[in-house]
Amino acid sequence: MSIWWSLHLRREAASVPLARRFLLGTMETAGVDPDISFDLSVALSEACANAVEHGGDRTVLGEPGGSGTGRPSADSGQYRVTAYLDGEKCRIEVSDSGPGFPVRRALRPAAHSPQADADADAENGRGLDLIQQLSDHVQFGNRPGHGAVVSFDKVLKWREGALLTV
């Protein structure tokens, strides 16, 4: 048996704990080990917080980087969270309609680098590093057109008597 769900959320701070609670409730019901659930919920919170902060077109006509139309895209006020739980892993994807990742981070698997160590004290990027530390596999990318996608997964451990065991 597998479970998957997708949420379309407004880019508001209140959406972050909502997505986290939804994931935790799903994992609790399915019987996922609480430590794994906690790690994934923290990683999800970081990805959602990034989508809320950076995930939409907030430029105005005439500003550098503006779209030229003076109107943000219809979905710039929202982002999407999709989660897949199967017998062996959980995969989560968070996508938005923002400017996307800088070229150096986009469209490649995440990896530890000396630059990440140099930037450890910087405010920006710490959430992405935390997602990497809490997950088994992470990929950052840009959607065709406009927007960022963060996907991450983790091998699941199950409580005894869990509903979705392998």
What are the 10-residue block averages of pLDDT along the chain, 166 residues in total? 92 97 94 96 97 73 41 70 92 93 58 45 73 96 86 94 71
CA distance 9 to 18: 9
Provide the β-strand partners of residue 91.
Answer: 84, 153
Q: What's the pLDDT at 163? A: 72
Backbone angles phi, psi at 83, to 5 degrees: -130, 140
Half-sphere exposure of 84 (CA within 13 A, CB side): 9
